[in-house]
Amino acid sequence: MTAWLVKNDLSGLTFFGQDWGGLIGLRLVVENPERFDRVVAANTGLPVPDASMSDERLVAVQDFRANAPTPSFADVAKGISSADPRRPEAAFAVWQKWCWETEDLPASTVVAAMVDGRVLTPEEIAAYDAPFPSSAFKMGPRAMPSHVPTLRGDPSTSANESAWEAFEAWNKPFLCTFSDNDPVTAGADQGFIRRVPGASGRSHPRLEGGGHFLQEGRATELSKRVAEFIDET
Q: What is the pLDDT of residues 164-218, one digit of tens each?
A: 999 999 999 999 999 999 989 989 999 999 999 999 999 999 999 999 999 999 9
Q: Does 224 fall in a domain?
A: no
Mark whether 95 and 176 lie in a shared domain. no
Residue 34's H or E segment, with its range, is none
Mark whether 64 and 132 lie in a shared domain. yes
pLDDT grade for 43, boundaries at 50, 70 and 90: very high
Mark whether 17 and 42 lie in a shared domain. yes
Distance between CA atoms of residues 229 and 15, nearest Å? 12
Domain count, the chain: 2
pTM equals 0.93
Q: What is the pLDDT of residues 101-117, one digit of tens each?
A: 999 999 999 999 999 98
| Cβ partners under 8 Å of residue 65, min gap 6 | 93, 96, 97
By DSSP bridging, strand 206-207 and strand 178-179 are parallel
Q: Does 43 fall in a domain?
A: yes
DSSP state at residue 119: P
pLDDT given for residue 153 in this prediction: 84
Q: Does 136 fall in a domain?
A: yes
State the residue range of the domain holding 130.
Answer: 55-147
Mark whether 72 and 31 lie in a shared domain. no
Closest CA relative to residue 100, chosen from 57, 71, 126: 71
The catalytic residues are: 19, 182, 212
Q: What is the pLDDT of residues 156-172, one digit of tens each?
A: 999 999 999 999 999 99
